[in-house]
Amino acid sequence: MKLRFLAGLSAFVAVAGLSACSSSSGSDGGDAAGGRTRIDVWLMRDSVSAAFQKDFVKGFEAAHPDIDVRVQIQEWDGIGGKITAALASNDAPDVIESGNTQVAQFAQSGGLTDLSGKVDDLGGKDWLKGLAEPGAYEGKQYGIPYYAANRVVIYRKDLFEKAGVDASAIKTRDQWVTATRKLNKGKQQGIYLPGQNWYTYAGFVWDEGGDLAEESGGKWQGSLDTPEAQRAMAFYKKLQALGKGPKDSDEAQPPQAEVMAKGEVAQVISTPGGANVVAQNNPELKDELGFFPIPGKTADTPGAVFTGGSDLVIPTVAKHQDEAYTFVKALTGDAWQKKLAVAMSYVPNRTTLASAVSADPGASAMAVGAAVGHATPNTPGWAAVEAKNPIKDYLTAVLTGGDPAGEAKKASEAITSAMNSGS
């Protein structure tokens, strides 16, 4: 799933340039001049910069002179239906970038090439779990991890120093709460955490050993009423109370980076790109923003995070299977993964490449969390849950005084109904 807050990274993405780099307006699967095989590739808006795309295509074609790459930039809005239609046609592109949690939906239709036999060749043993697992469906690997991004804590260095708080010493959730209480004075909010920030809550559930839903006997059921999820809710409520975040909206309403830019918020939980938005709204804070991984229950394990990002898939009906695989292998291989991570402040697709972003404070903080990242339940039915999102309603209900156990039971039943009915 694309993390919408990655839009904060677009400060250095030239949208017009992306469109200009798009080399084709159609996907006819034809051959290029001189006997070269042309492959059509769909990449998503703002996933890579125009400069990176140009460099990669140039480098790839130099290394594979028999292949001509035509990239078409797609919009995130409505992409699910567009990919579904392409997979059902006889005119699909050769490679498609898909949100990682969308892969199961497309694989269920039988429209994706099974790449299970290529996992070892692609370095799959080191893939990030949060990208690799949703790229698989019913024991087969269809999606190849492309890039990842996840949430970290963005904090005000000046406010931490004034309060005598050392961010580098915050390794556990208890230490985090203690520090946040010291920062929560007067008009200053120790943390701005909107009540419906359900991805953050999900991380606490995973920290406790639980999940948002569980499968048993081929049926999925919501699991917010388990002891693990209840402990996560108790911690979420404690943390949320250390600020003045709204209890009935998420991080986009109002945009939390804009709230932080007003100067009275010490911390937010966001992808690092959120810092760019804060600085755009308040340039005086540009050099005052730092990052650290969301703390875990114990100092030896960082907090679990939702891993957003993309996988690359090859449609079953793609006309150039071998060339498509060659493209996927190159873009997800060591050399270009390192360049992509540096260019876009992304987390590379493999844990062994984390050092590529060591000089980028935000991306390196992401990489720590990504190593223990998770995805939402890997089933096509999860899309129906997110459409209605009873988790948000559950969080608001508890934060406004509702009975945690009773509200969790209702939310779990709503999740179960949505997952199994697809509506």
Output the pTM of the full model. 0.88
Instruction: Tell me if the domain spanning 4-149+308-363 has CATH number 3.40.190.10.
Output: yes
Give the separation between CA 75 and CA 355, rounded to whole angstroms. Answer: 31
pLDDT > 90 fraction of the chain, expressed in percent and rounded: 87
152-305+377-421: which CATH number, 3.90.850.10, 3.40.190.10, 3.30.300.30, 3.40.50.720? 3.40.190.10
Whole-number Å distance between alpha carbons of 95 and 85: 15
Q: Residue 90: is its pLDDT beyond 70?
A: yes
Q: Tell me: the pLDDT tens digits for 176-219?
A: 999 999 999 999 999 999 999 999 999 999 999 999 999 988 89
The per-residue b/e assignment along 324-352, b for 16 or more CB within 10 angstroms, e otherwise, is: bbbbbbbbbeeebbebbbbbbbbbbbbee
Radius of gyration of the chain (CA): 22
Rounded to an integer, the average pLDDT of 292-301 is 97
Least confident of 46-50, 112-116, 121-125: 46-50
Residue 357 has pLDDT above 70, yes or no: yes
What pLDDT digit, counting tens, does each position of 249-282 carry? 999 999 999 999 999 999 999 999 999 999 999 9
Helix (H, G, I), strand (E, B) or coil at 220: strand
- SS3 for 418? helix
Name which of 106, 147, 114 is nearest 128 in CA terms: 147
Task: Give the residue range(s) of CATH 3.40.190.10 domains in the chain.
Answer: 4-149+308-363, 152-305+377-421
- How high is the pLDDT of residue 35? 84
> How does residue 164 score in pLDDT terms, banded at 50, 70 and 90?
very high
Band (pLDDT 50/70/90 cuts) for residue 58 is very high
User: Is the pLDDT confidence value at 19 over 60?
Assistant: no
- Strands 37-44, 67-74: parallel, antiparallel or unpaired by DSSP? parallel
Angle (deg, nearest 10), helices 321-331 and 334-344: 60
Tell me what the mean pLDDT of segment 301-309 comes to. Answer: 96
Q: Does residue 407 contact residue 229 with C-beta atoms inside 8 Å?
A: no
Can you tell me the mean pLDDT for 128-150? 95
Q: Quickly state the pLDDT bin for 30 (edges 50, 70, 90).
A: low
